[in-house]
Amino acid sequence: MDLSVVIPVHNEAENIQPLVDEIVAALDGRYDYEIVYVDDGSTDDTLERLRAARSGCSRLRILRHARGCGQSTAIRTGVRAARAPVIATLDGDGQNDPADIPGLVERLRQADPGDRLWLVAGWRRRRQDNWLRRISSRVANGVRSRLLGDATPDTGCGLKVFPREVFLELPYFDHMHRFLPALVQRAGGRVVSVPVNHRPRERGTSKYGVGNRLWVGIVDLFGVRWLQRRACLPEVGEVE
């Protein structure tokens, strides 16, 4: 298998079938792939819609958290269960465009192994969100980039491609998905940002706001900075 597409969802019933259809259209005939949905304790009809979608798509797998554990934990659950060596993640709200997945995958696959390209991150240059989210995201990205030096313009984009084994070696903590570029660089890898399409939310409601992201983001930011300062990358050579 070439590719596992991991999608964490919480109460996104209306977006399940349209997004599955788009993923199939983007990947069929290009890769041997699977779609791994992780239902993070949804209380609406998300699980029922996933089961219905699976009846028409043999590539779809469903994992479920009995209670909501957050996006980072849901991503980790999906990556651990994935069967392919390359992972693509995207948000389940339909704002990421699955048609962008092949471009990011090929950027990763065509890199020279010695280049240590371990993460290809989507960059939403033209955000289709309200003004408050755009401004708060711009400020957060600026502060994060200044403190962590990750040289990544948009860490919040859900569309990312990376080797499975790299992700599983990274330090795990709640909200880690927002800091993947810095964590990958801390481990000795390189990160590339690629412009991707971003679409308005057409169905369902957003789970994020300034209030439920600001304070935990500040704490996490200093935690990741602490990890960076204590990183040690040895040069290892085999002795004959």
Residue whose entry in the numeric block shows the structure tokens 């800091």 = 179
The contacts of residue 210 (CB under 8 Å, 6+ apart) are 132, 133, 136
Residue-wise pLDDT tens for the chain (240 aa)?
999 999 999 999 999 999 999 999 999 999 999 999 999 999 999 999 999 999 999 999 999 999 999 999 999 999 999 999 999 999 999 999 999 999 999 999 999 988 999 999 999 887 665 555 656 566 566 566 666 767 788 888 999 999 999 999 999 988 899 899 999 999 999 999 999 999 988 886 765 555 555 555 677 777 777 787 787 777 778 888
Half-sphere exposure of 122 (CA within 13 A, CB side): 27
pTM, two decimal places: 0.87
Instruction: Determine the Cα–Cα distance for residues 118 and 159; give it in Å rounded to an integer.
Output: 14
CA-to-CA distance for 108 and 185, rounded, in angstroms? Answer: 15
CA–CA separation, 88 and 139 (whole Å) = 27
Please state the φ and ψ torsions of residue 195, each to the nearest 5 degrees: -60, 135
Q: What domains appear along the chain, each with residue ranges and CATH number?
A: 3-229 (3.90.550.10)
Q: How far apart are the first and last CA of the chain?
A: 36
Element holding 147 (H helix, E strand)? helix 131-148
Cβ density class 182-216: b for 16+ within 10 Å, e for less = bbbbbbebebbbbebbbeeeeebeeeeeeeebeee
Backbone angles phi, psi at 190, to 5 degrees: -110, 150
CA 51 from chain centre, in angstroms, equals 23
Quickly count: other Cβ atoms within 10 Å of residue 18's Cβ.
13
